[in-house]
Amino acid sequence: MISHIRGTVLALKDHAVTVDIGGVGFELFISEQTKRRLPALGSIAFFQVHFHVREDAIQLYGFSTSQEKSLFEAMISISGIGPRGAITMLSSVTPEEFQRAILREDVKFLTSVPGIGKKTAERLIVELKEKMTRLELGEDPISPFHGNNRERKASPYNEALEALLALGYNYHSAQRTIHSIRLNSEGAEESVENIVRASLKLLRDL
């Protein structure tokens, strides 16, 4: 089982990237979300990987974040949705947007995603809603495409996370709290101060 790989980005075409590891090229199928976050050709990249075995082929699916991988695996657990279909869906929406739509039973939003009709949207809601409440699908606090020299993303949510950690809060509790705030932000940009203030209120109420 291959869970992740780290290597040099050699080539990119449509929904696939070729990564060189010790002279061997591995082809990974990727979403547009991951494609947009790739470094330049010749750079080192780190991918979360889903190892998919079929009767006639062995395929690797690569993801820029563990959250996208978790959502992909939740999607293909549903009858009738294959890996390629899941990649197509993930190319159109972020994991957070998809999670929010499932939790709010937003059929209209889901049917706007390529590959999802009304019946499929309703089935996704029924079969994934419980899983979506357990998955933490906010972006990884550390960018996955910088190998051993990874840098923290300059986002107010990551700065707020660091502030909470400096105040002595447990990493997982702080991350869950910030993710909850982000999920309910309706996509609006929040300041670090507002995020920290809202997080402290939630943490104190626990």
User: Domain 154-205 has what CATH class?
Assistant: mainly alpha
Does pTM surpass 0.75?
A: no
**What pLDDT does residue 141 have?**
40
Q: Tell me yes or no: is domain 4-63 CATH 2.40.50.140.
A: yes
Query: Using CA atoms, how far apart are residues 145 and 168, in angstroms rounded to an integer?
Result: 28
Which ranges of the chain would DSSP assign to H, the alpha helix? Answer: 32-36, 66-75, 83-90, 95-103, 107-111, 118-134, 156-166, 171-183, 192-205
From first to last of its 206 residues, what are the pLDDT tens digits of the chain?
688 888 999 999 888 999 999 899 999 999 998 998 888 899 989 898 999 988 788 899 999 888 889 889 989 988 888 999 999 999 988 888 888 889 889 999 999 988 889 999 999 999 988 877 666 554 444 345 544 433 334 468 777 877 887 777 776 677 778 878 877 776 566 788 888 888 898 888 76
* DSSP 3-state of 34: helix
> Given 3.40.640.10, 1.10.760.10, 1.10.150.20, 1.10.645.10, which CATH number is that of 66-134?
1.10.150.20
Distance CA 77, CA 53 (A): 14
Q: Where are the domains of the chain?
A: 4-63, 66-134, 154-205
